[in-house]
Amino acid sequence: WSDWLLRMQRLERDWFVPLLAALKEGRLGQLTLMLSNRDAYAEFGSSKNAQRKFWRAPTLNKLST
């Protein structure tokens, strides 16, 4: 378990943090991650604008109109 955790922390530090910074700074227009195993794959994408929407606080104001 500890080896897996160390590898995930290394991925975060070496890949995901720099990619997210490049996305937020506009050095990347969009980012797509494709994750796979033997039976299936999943695709996740994001852009600078999508990051802003993700962190927006949820609200129920739209329901009151």
| pLDDT per position as a tens digit, 14-35 | 998 999 889 888 899 999 989 9
Asked if residue 62 belongs to a domain, the reply is no
User: Per-residue b/e over 8-22, b at no fewer than 16 CB within 10 Å?
Assistant: eeeeeeeeeeeeeee
Total domains in the fold of the chain: 1
Asked if residue 64 belongs to a domain, the reply is no
Asked if residue 61 belongs to a domain, the reply is no
* 4-17 confidence digits (pLDDT tens): 898 989 998 999 89
Could you tell me the residue range of the domain that residue 28 belongs to? 2-54
In this structure, what DSSP letter does residue 16 have?
A: I
Asked if residue 36 belongs to a domain, the reply is yes
Residue with tokens 């500890």, as numbered in its chain: 2
Is the separation of the CB atoms in 33 and 41 below 8 Å? no
Asked if residue 63 belongs to a domain, the reply is no
